[in-house]
């Protein structure tokens, strides 16, 4: 990332922090917070003038973008600087300390004077004592109004005459020359009278003098009928007559504006002469109609400066609402639009407005403007019966920003300062958001203040905007001036994307008296016109008429008839409301009953399914247990099984062997006895044995028998051993079998215990189900009582004294009544118990 980009993002980050602090800070502290944060804002750009290449880098990108011919036009917000000359008093009080130095027509350098907060901070090593700023153009103190006009809004006025929208702000601290720049003086008129003069010169000879086409809502046009036309003319005459009254008693009005304002009262444009703005040949048959409005935003309330009863000191001024039309254009509802035919009439409208404008003294400026005042001119292009287009030029004189502690502001003035700062803060936020969004779309807090909401369209590409920053060179206001300059540096980076508008899109909607369109797809809707004409006699013309000019008796009559209408309307509404309530109550009851029915059905099903499941599981366990016991038994039987024949044979053989064994033993005993006798006579025995061997056949046979017997004895002994082993094996098997049998018994006992638990659970479920059934019965009883109550309610007579709180409130009440709350609680409880029933493991 290049160092430039890093520095730029640092700047962005610092600015976001600055806005956050501004958000958190209110009332008088706003500007102090702004000041301290602003000091840091430029800190990374050391030395300060190094900030400029970055800004100019951005501007070059923006200017490159503005060269795109097709599609939307992109242009950097034009920010001009006008420096006011010192007054005599300021020179006498040593305000000239060379704080502002203009390097060239685009660059201004600010040097912090001694004693200023900036200087103190720079001495502490925080912030700078010198700042450099660039502007689209700078107007030095000696530059006159004409030059300022030519260098700033002249092109915008020409655009306005071509059907485009334009907006100009004058921004700056109190007493910096904002009003002077916008309105000027009799000898030296400001931007507004000059713009009006150009407009009237341009349309001279092509004016549409009938006042029957009037701006309507945001960007539509209304065709006035004869009654409305008459009222319009009366209103205009009444407005100008106000001025005559005040001219007759100039000393009586205590709230006159500043020197510039009072001089506006004798404003004349005769001294101004301009080249006629070029008109194309096809424009020559087009007629123009000019309407103006003058209003102010004071303490976040919109007030019409052209209201006839504004001069009354006792009455509270009615504030107006800001609304959006179907195209999303914001407009001031019920704002008075005055049709003017020449610059002189425009001047008179301005004077009436100035008379009404809120002005209050502060320490800094004897009649400082405490509100944002907006003068709007609407130009209608009329071709025959058709309105081809409508364009708007607004000049906004912003209230001066100021620090509460410095200006010694209290009470109402402190509130004013807070509101002024808030709306300027939102303007700053919008500008910062537009700057950071660039050409991309993103959130811009236009709707957070009336001022920004009204001009959202222009900032969003429905026109061109520019800003004149006014400053004075006084050392005492250096810190505020520095903040203004920093704000303007941000504003200058905003790139406006101006949408190209086709002639069709420029054409406004033409509406009749009732606000319904008169022209559909370029063809006059004859039916709508007929309706409009036939209604003319029926309507009493009180829709748009200004009631205040009617006689008192008439007004009282109107009020009385309106009161009767209102009462009838209220009665009708009440009956309707009761009917709707009853219908809704019935519907609700039906719904409740249905849901109750559904609920009980669901419960029954649930109970059945649980019972079934438990039964199945129990049976499964039982079967499994039986199967297991059977399997164990079969296995044991298989292991221990010996065929019966084999067993019998073995038994027989054992018996036979035992018999033979006893015989052999007997024989052995006998032979032993004989051998003992033979030992006593051994030589004899040996010889006899020898003899037996050699010759005697009887003794041979005995010997043979003995041998045989001996062999048999050995075999029997062997067999006995084998049998002994078999017995041991069988005994161990019997032990094993006993163990297995014991295990099977234990397992059987366990299963038996499990079955017992399951049976307990089943019993519990059954009890729960019974309880739920009781609940259901209870609810049914409640429902019946509810139904009865509702029936009683619907039969009960209407109480006239009952406050009308709207259908929603009554509906809420019926929903939140204690009885329905109990029902809700019961329902919730059943739902909870169902849920918990579901959650419980099987
Ligand atoms: N360029 C100028 N040349 C001569 N005098 C000027 C110039 N600008 C302003 N003044 C004078 O300075 C004084 C203050 O100007 P102005 O009332 O226009 O200030 P402001 O910014 O509108 O103040 P506020 O915000 O309080 O309304 C007026 O007397 C005005 O005539």
- pLDDT number for residue 545: 43
Q: Is 180 in the pocket of ligand 1 (CB under 6 A)?
A: yes
The set of residues, in sequence order, having a beta carbon less than 8 Å from that of 620 and lying 6+ positions away, is none
Q: How far is the CA of 184 from the centre of ligand 1 (A)?
A: 9
Q: Are residues 618 and 696 in the same domain?
A: yes
Q: Which atom of ligand 1 is nearest to the CA of 182?
A: 18
Q: Are residues 782 and 646 in the same domain?
A: yes
pLDDT band at 503 (very low <50, low <70, confident <90, very high): very low
Mean pLDDT of 167-184: 91
Q: Which atom of ligand 1 is nearest to the CA of 367?
A: 26
- pLDDT number for residue 585: 85
659 inside domain? yes
- pLDDT number for residue 621: 86
- pLDDT number for residue 66: 36
Q: Is the per-residue pLDDT at 685 higher than 80? A: no
- pLDDT number for residue 795: 81
Q: Are residues 345 and 206 in the same domain?
A: yes
Q: Which atom of ligand 1 is nearest to the CA of 82?
A: 1
More confident residue, 132 or 507: 132
pLDDT band at 279 (very low <50, low <70, confident <90, very high): low
- pLDDT number for residue 723: 87
- How far is residue 337 from each of residues 194, 221, 332, 334, measured CA to CA in Å? 20, 12, 11, 9
Q: Are residues 628 and 684 in the same domain?
A: yes
DSSP string, 718-738: HHHHHHHHHHHHHHHHHHHHH
- How far is residue 503 from each of residues 218, 388, 426, measured CA to CA in Å? 18, 8, 34
pLDDT band at 683 (very low <50, low <70, confident <90, very high): very low
Please give the tally of structural domains in the chain.
2
Q: Are residues 791 and 708 in the same domain?
A: yes
- pLDDT number for residue 773: 93
642 inside domain? yes
**Stretch among 657-666, 778-787, 804-813 having the lowest mean pLDDT:** 804-813
Supply the DSSP symbol for 328: S
Q: Is the per-residue pLDDT at 708 higher than 80? A: yes
Q: What is the ipTM of this complex?
A: 0.97
- pLDDT number for residue 781: 93
Q: Is 174 in the pocket of ligand 1 (CB under 6 A)?
A: yes
Q: For ligand 1, atom 14, which residue shows the shortest CA distance?
A: 175
pLDDT band at 256 (very low <50, low <70, confident <90, very high): very low
Asked if residue 339 belongs to a known ligand binding site, the reply is: no
Q: Which atom of ligand 1 is nearest to the CA of 365?
A: 26
692 inside domain? yes
Q: Is 258 in the pocket of ligand 1 (CB under 6 A)?
A: yes
Choice from 80, 84, 264 to test ligand 1 binding pocket (greatest atom count within 8 A of CB):
84
Q: Are residues 802 and 735 in the same domain?
A: yes
Q: Is the per-residue pLDDT at 365 higher than 70? A: no
Q: Is the per-residue pLDDT at 343 higher than 60? A: yes
Q: How far is the CA of 144 from the centre of ligand 1 (A)?
A: 13
718 inside domain? yes
Q: Is 470 in the pocket of ligand 1 (CB under 6 A)?
A: yes
pLDDT tens-digit series, residues 110-119: 999 988 888 8
pLDDT band at 840 (very low <50, low <70, confident <90, very high): very low
- pLDDT number for residue 67: 37
Q: How many whole angstroms separate alpha carbon 537 and alpha carbon 530? A: 12
Q: Are residues 659 and 798 in the same domain?
A: yes
Q: How far is the CA of 368 from the centre of ligand 1 (A)?
A: 9
Name the average pLDDT for the chain: 73
DSSP string, 446-510: GGGSHHHHHTHHIIIIISEEEEEEEE---GGGHHHHHHHHHHHHHHTT-EEEEPP--HHHHSPPE
In terms of DSSP H, where are the helices of 681-696?
682-694
Asked if residue 173 belongs to a known ligand binding site, the reply is: yes
Asked if residue 177 belongs to a known ligand binding site, the reply is: yes
Q: Which atom of ligand 1 is nearest to the CA of 260?
A: 31
pLDDT band at 247 (very low <50, low <70, confident <90, very high): low
Q: How far is the CA of 158 from the centre of ligand 1 (A)?
A: 27
Q: Is 190 in the pocket of ligand 1 (CB under 6 A)?
A: no
- pLDDT number for residue 424: 78
296 inside domain? yes
Q: How far is the CA of 259 from the centre of ligand 1 (A)?
A: 8
Q: Are residues 607 and 527 in the same domain?
A: no
SS3 content of the chain, % helix, strand, coil (to 5): 60, 15, 25
Q: How far is the CA of 474 from the centre of ligand 1 (A)?
A: 13
- pLDDT number for residue 518: 61
Percent of the chain with pLDDT over 70: 66
Q: Are residues 621 and 675 in the same domain?
A: yes
Choice from 139, 152, 172, 258 to test ligand 1 binding pocket (greatest atom count within 8 A of CB):
258
pTM > 0.90: yes or no: no
CA angle 244, 248, 249 (to 5 degrees): 125
pLDDT band at 508 (very low <50, low <70, confident <90, very high): low
Q: Is the per-residue pLDDT at 155 higher than 70? A: yes
726 inside domain? yes
* Burial letters 265-281, b for 16+ CB under 10 A, else e: bebebeebeeeeeeeee
Asked if residue 39 belongs to a known ligand binding site, the reply is: no
108 inside domain? no
Q: Are residues 730 and 826 in the same domain?
A: yes
Report which listed range, 75-79, 394-398, 596-600, 692-696, is most confident: 394-398
795 inside domain? yes
Q: Is 401 in the pocket of ligand 1 (CB under 6 A)?
A: no
Asked if residue 178 belongs to a known ligand binding site, the reply is: yes
- How far is residue 389 from each of residues 87, 252, 330, measured CA to CA in Å? 45, 44, 18
Q: Is 348 in the pocket of ligand 1 (CB under 6 A)?
A: no
Q: Is the per-residue pLDDT at 194 higher than 90? A: yes
Q: How far is the CA of 355 from the centre of ligand 1 (A)?
A: 17
Q: Which atom of ligand 1 is nearest to the CA of 397?
A: 22
- pLDDT number for residue 833: 53
Dihedral sign from CA coordinates of 400, 404, 407, 413: positive
Q: Is the per-residue pLDDT at 53 higher than 90? A: no
- Give the pairing of strands 130-134 and 137-139: unpaired
Asked if residue 176 belongs to a known ligand binding site, the reply is: yes
More confident residue, 259 or 292: 292
- pLDDT number for residue 338: 93
Q: Is 417 in the pocket of ligand 1 (CB under 6 A)?
A: no
- pLDDT number for residue 497: 72
Mean pLDDT of 202-225: 86
Q: How far is the CA of 413 from the centre of ligand 1 (A)?
A: 20
* Burial letters 586-603, b for 16+ CB under 10 A, else e: eebeeebeeebeebbeeb
pLDDT band at 22 (very low <50, low <70, confident <90, very high): very low
- pLDDT number for residue 546: 46
Q: Are residues 245 and 353 in the same domain?
A: yes
| CATH code of the domain containing 213 | 3.40.850
- pLDDT number for residue 224: 87
Q: For ligand 1, atom 8, which residue shows the shortest CA distance?
A: 177
**Stretch among 120-124, 282-286, 514-518, 738-742 having the lowest mean pLDDT:** 514-518
Q: Is the per-residue pLDDT at 16 higher than 90? A: no
Q: Is 260 in the pocket of ligand 1 (CB under 6 A)?
A: yes
Asked if residue 153 belongs to a known ligand binding site, the reply is: no
Q: Is 362 in the pocket of ligand 1 (CB under 6 A)?
A: no
Q: Is the per-residue pLDDT at 602 higher than 50? A: yes
- Give the pairing of strands 166-172 and 137-139: unpaired
More confident residue, 690 or 791: 791
- pLDDT number for residue 778: 93
pLDDT band at 647 (very low <50, low <70, confident <90, very high): confident
Report which listed range, 399-413, 480-494, 647-661, 769-783, is most confident: 769-783
Asked if residue 738 belongs to a known ligand binding site, the reply is: no
More confident residue, 750 or 70: 750
Q: How far is the CA of 180 from the centre of ligand 1 (A)?
A: 5
pLDDT band at 507 (very low <50, low <70, confident <90, very high): low
H/E element, 589: helix 552-640
- pLDDT number for residue 799: 54
Supply the DSSP symbol for 399: P
Q: Partners of 395 in the beta sheet?
A: 168, 375
Percent of the chain with pLDDT over 90: 16
pLDDT band at 687 (very low <50, low <70, confident <90, very high): very low
Q: For ligand 1, atom 23, which residue shows the shortest CA distance?
A: 175
The set of residues, in sequence order, having a beta carbon less than 8 Å from that of 127 and lying 6+ positions away, is 39, 40, 42, 43, 118, 121
> Whole domain around residue 720: which residue ranges?
586-839
Q: Is 365 in the pocket of ligand 1 (CB under 6 A)?
A: yes
Q: Are residues 674 and 536 in the same domain?
A: no
Q: Is 492 in the pocket of ligand 1 (CB under 6 A)?
A: no
Q: Is 373 in the pocket of ligand 1 (CB under 6 A)?
A: no
Choice from 86, 144, 179 to test ligand 1 binding pocket (greatest atom count within 8 A of CB):
179
Mean pLDDT of 241-263: 50
């Amino acid at each position: 990332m290049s160092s430039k980009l890093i520095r730029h993002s640092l700047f962005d980050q610092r600015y976001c922090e600055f806005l956050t602090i501004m958000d958190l800070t209110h009332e008088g502290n706003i500007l102090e917070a702004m000041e301290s944060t602003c000091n840091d804002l430029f800190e990374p750009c050391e030395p300060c003038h190094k900030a400029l290449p970055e800004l100019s880098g951005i501007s070059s990108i923006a200017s490159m973008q503005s060269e795109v011919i097709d599609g939307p036009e992109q242009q950097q917000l034009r920010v001009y600087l006008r420096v006011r000359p010192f007054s005599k008093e300021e020179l006498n009080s040593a305000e000239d300390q060379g704080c502002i130095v203009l390097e060239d027509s685009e660059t201004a350098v600010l040097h912090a004077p001694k004693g200023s907060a900036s200087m103190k901070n720079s001495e502490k090593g925080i912030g700078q004592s010198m700042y450099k700023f660039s502007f689209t153009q700078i107007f030095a103190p000696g530059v006159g109004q004409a030059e300022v006009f030519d260098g700033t809004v002249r092109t915008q006025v020409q655009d306005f005459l071509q059907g485009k929208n334009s907006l100009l702000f004058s921004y700056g601290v109190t007493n910096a020359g904002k009003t002077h720049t916008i309105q000027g003086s009799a000898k030296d008129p400001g931007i507004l009278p000059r713009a009006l003069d150009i407009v009237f010169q341009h349309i001279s000879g092509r004016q549409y003098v009938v006042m029957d086409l009037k701006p309507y809502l945001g960007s539509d046009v209304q065709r006035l009928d004869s009654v409305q036309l008459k009222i319009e003319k009366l209103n205009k005459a009444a407005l100008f007559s106000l001025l005559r009254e005040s001219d007759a008693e100039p000393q009586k009005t205590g709230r006159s504006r500043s020197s510039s304002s009072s001089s506006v009262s004798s404003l004349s444009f005769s001294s101004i002469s301009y080249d006629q703005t070029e008109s194309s040949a096809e424009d020559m048959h087009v007629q123009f109609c000019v309407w103006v409005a003058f209003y102010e935003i004071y303490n976040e309330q919109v007030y019409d400066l052209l209201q006839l009863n504004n001069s009354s000191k006792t009455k509270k001024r009615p504030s107006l609402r800001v609304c959006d039309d179907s195209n999303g254009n914001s407009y001031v509802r019920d704002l008075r639009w005055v049709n003017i035919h020449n610059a002189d009439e425009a001047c008179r409208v301005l004077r009436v407005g100035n008379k009404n404008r809120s002005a209050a003294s502060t320490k800094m400026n004897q009649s400082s403007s405490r509100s944002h005042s907006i003068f709007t001119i609407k130009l209608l292009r009329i071709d025959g019966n058709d309105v081809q287009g409508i364009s708007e030029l607004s000049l906004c004189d912003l209230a001066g920003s100021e620090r509460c502690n410095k200006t010694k502001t209290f009470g109402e003035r402190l509130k004013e300062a807070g509101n002024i700062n808030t709306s300027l803060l939102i303007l700053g936020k919008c500008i910062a958001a537009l700057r950071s969004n660039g050409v991309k779309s993103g959130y811009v807090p236009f709707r957070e203040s009336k001022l920004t909401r009204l001009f959202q369209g222009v900032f969003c590409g429905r026109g061109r905007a520019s800003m004149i920053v006014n400053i004075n060179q006084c050392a005492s206001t250096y810190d505020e001036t520095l903040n203004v300059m920093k704000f303007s540096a941000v504003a200058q980076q905003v790139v406006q994307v101006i949408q190209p508008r086709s002639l069709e899109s420029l054409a406004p909607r033409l509406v009749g008296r009732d606000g319904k369109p008169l022209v559909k797809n370029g063809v006059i809707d004859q039916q709508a016109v007929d309706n409009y004409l036939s209604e003319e006699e029926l309507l009493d013309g009180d829709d748009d008429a200004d009631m205040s000019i009617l006689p008192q008796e008439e007004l009282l009559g109107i009020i009385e008839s309106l009161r009767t209408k209102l009462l009838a309307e209220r009665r009708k509404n009440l009956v309707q409301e009761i009917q709707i309530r009853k219908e809704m109550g019935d519907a609700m009851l039906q719904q409740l009953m249905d849901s109750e029915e559904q609920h009980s059905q669901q419960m029954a099903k649930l109970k059945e399914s649980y019972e079934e499941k438990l039964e199945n599981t129990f049976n499964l366990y039982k079967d499994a247990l039986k199967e297991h016991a059977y399997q164990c038994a079969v296995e044991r039987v298989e292991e221990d099984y010996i065929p019966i024949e084999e067993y019998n044979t073995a038994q027989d053989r054992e018996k036979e062997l035992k018999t033979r064994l006893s015989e052999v033993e007997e024989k052995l005993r006998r032979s032993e006895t004989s051998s003992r006798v033979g030992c006593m006579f051994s030589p004899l025995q040996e010889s006899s044995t020898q003899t037996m061997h050699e010759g005697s056949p009887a003794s041979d046979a005995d010997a043979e028998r003995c041998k045989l017997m001996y062999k048999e004895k050995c075999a029997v002994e062997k067999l006995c051993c084998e049998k002994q082993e078999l017995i041991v094996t069988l005994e161990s098997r019997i032990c094993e079998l006993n163990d297995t049998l014991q295990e099977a018994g234990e397992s059987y006992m366990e299963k038996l215990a499990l079955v017992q638990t399951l049976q307990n659970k089943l019993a519990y479920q059954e009890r729960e189900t019974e309880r739920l059934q009781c609940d259901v019965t209870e609810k049914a009883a409640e429902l019946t009582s509810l139904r009865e109550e509702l029936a009683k309610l619907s039969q009960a007579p209407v109480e006239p004294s009952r406050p009308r709180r709207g259908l929603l409130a009554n509906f809420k009440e019926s929903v939140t009544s204690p009885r329905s709350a109990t029902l809700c609680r019961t329902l919730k409880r059943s739902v909870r118990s169902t849920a918990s029933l579901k959650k419980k493991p099987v």
